[in-house]
A and B are shown apart, each in its own frame.
Chain A
């Protein structure tokens, strides 16, 4: 019997040390606002998305939260796109981070959105960041404002603060940016339709998206019709 408790204690020590080590090594990620992390880990995450997973068309948007064009697109065009294309089941819309180096707080904003997303409030936080986009023009440290926006999005602030301080999603954001680099993203917002880059001459409107989506759906091979039941 005593031998069993020795084994049990040994297993407990090994597991405790292992858990502590994993947490400590994970926590070495730098704070989100300090820039790109030294290492990048693929955590399997491929962006928050809206719409049916069975939609015939998937559009991936690479965005930068500090980019004014991304903000105007999100505020002006996206409501119509959601109504006409996403809510109708035609499009599955995926958001990927592509923080541009010229923007001081875009990583920080992307991180705030990810921390809100960890609590199931990514889209609310994204709306707040784009609707209150004056933070991107002042040049001031937006951490206090982001906290207020997070609260307005329904985020629990204790967990949010811990998430931001630990830079928990810094590597995820950098992974997304590197992925964008590989796909030759050259600005924001950049869109891909079923993996193919969309080239617009100007900032696209909801009508532009409706046209390319309808065209893509029309070009899809027809679904096989179910054969009629024979009796």
Chain B
């Protein structure tokens, strides 16, 4: 349960990072708040658009999917169900691979690093690690009878 809660929180953070970058890509707001980083160089590069869609939009969809799946997996009826943990691990693995590709583009093609992208990479990596650890730990057992006091046995 704790791992799905952690994933839901992390996915929420990643979602808002992606939303910020996506809205910026659509022209809302001014320059990115980036400190001394090179966010605009990255965001204005041709690699910031993949298959005709701003890269940040894939982040919005991905983090939203992780968030929704984590919440569904947190329902009492779903807590013991291992398939939600598998789904979270699968989704986050796709996210980590895609992020790895984007980081490669930043380092070796664009030659610039965007702090927001680094933030998103850290978030998805954390989600991926938590999801893998949750697969190793035993599933949460919901045994309603276990909390009831046992009836006294007749001597």
Give the docked Cα–Cα distance between A94 and B43 (Å): 18
Residues of B within 8 A of A23 (CB): 20, 23-24, 28-29
Give the docked Cα–Cα distance between A18 and B27 (Å): 18
Could you tell me if A43 and B45 are in contact, using CB atoms closer than 8 angstroms? no
Give the docked Cα–Cα distance between A148 and B142 (Å): 64
Taking a contact as CB atoms closer than 8 A, the residue among B8, B25, B31, B36 that contacts A172 in the complex is B31
B16 at the interface (CB under 8 A from A): yes
Could you tell me if A26 and B8 are in contact, using CB atoms closer than 8 angstroms? no
Could you tell me if B28 and A44 are in contact, using CB atoms closer than 8 angstroms? no
B132 at the interface (CB under 8 A from A): no
Could you tell me if A171 and B46 are in contact, using CB atoms closer than 8 angstroms? no
A189 at the interface (CB under 8 A from B): no
Could you tell me if B27 and A43 are in contact, using CB atoms closer than 8 angstroms? no
Shortest Cβ distance from residue A143 to the other chain B in the assembled complex, whole angstroms: 16
Could you tell me if A162 and B27 are in contact, using CB atoms closer than 8 angstroms? yes
Could you tell me if A166 and B30 are in contact, using CB atoms closer than 8 angstroms? yes
Could you tell me if A159 and B9 are in contact, using CB atoms closer than 8 angstroms? no
Taking a contact as CB atoms closer than 8 A, the residue among A8, A16, A24, A117 that contacts B8 in the complex is A8
Could you tell me if A26 and B29 are in contact, using CB atoms closer than 8 angstroms? yes
Q: Which residue of A lies closest to B16 (CB)?
A: A15
Could you tell me if A166 and B29 are in contact, using CB atoms closer than 8 angstroms? yes
B26 at the interface (CB under 8 A from A): yes
Contact residues on A (Cβ < 8 Å of other chain), bracket: 35 or more
Could you tell me if B12 and A26 are in contact, using CB atoms closer than 8 angstroms? no
A119 at the interface (CB under 8 A from B): yes
Main secondary structure on A side of the interface with B: helix
Shortest Cβ distance from residue B71 to the other chain A in the assembled complex, whole angstroms: 9
Can you list, as one digit per residue, whether each of B29-58 has a CB less than 8 Å from chain A (1) or not (0)?
111111011111101111001000000000
B112 at the interface (CB under 8 A from A): yes
Taking a contact as CB atoms closer than 8 A, the residue among B12, B26, B34, B76 that contacts A12 in the complex is B12
Give the docked Cα–Cα distance between A163 and B30 (Å): 9
Can you list, as one digit per residue, whether each of A1-31 has a CB less than 8 Å from chain B (1) or not (0)?
1001001100110011011001111111100
Give the docked Cα–Cα distance between A29 and B19 (Å): 20
Could you tell me if B38 and A44 are in contact, using CB atoms closer than 8 angstroms? yes
Could you tell me if B31 and A41 are in contact, using CB atoms closer than 8 angstroms? yes
A169 at the interface (CB under 8 A from B): yes
Give the docked Cα–Cα distance between A1 and B16 (Å): 23
Q: Which residue of B lies closest to A171 (CB)?
A: B31
A118 at the interface (CB under 8 A from B): yes
Within 8 A of A (CB), among B81-117: 111-112
A204 at the interface (CB under 8 A from B): no
Give the docked Cα–Cα distance between A160 and B25 (Å): 10
Shortest Cβ distance from residue B118 to the other chain A in the assembled complex, whole angstroms: 13
Shortest Cβ distance from residue B104 to the other chain A in the assembled complex, whole angstroms: 16
A90 at the interface (CB under 8 A from B): no
Could you tell me if A29 and B31 are in contact, using CB atoms closer than 8 angstroms? yes
Could you tell me if A44 and B49 are in contact, using CB atoms closer than 8 angstroms? no
A181 at the interface (CB under 8 A from B): no
Asked, given contacts A8-B9, A15-B16, A53-B111, whether A167 binds B30 with beta carbons under 8 Å apart, the answer is yes
User: B-contacting residues of A (Cβ < 8 Å)?
Assistant: 1, 4, 7-8, 11-12, 15-16, 18-19, 22-29, 41-46, 53, 114-115, 117-120, 159-163, 165-172
The 5 closest A-B pairs by CB, nearest first: A162-B27, A26-B30, A120-B46, A26-B29, A44-B38
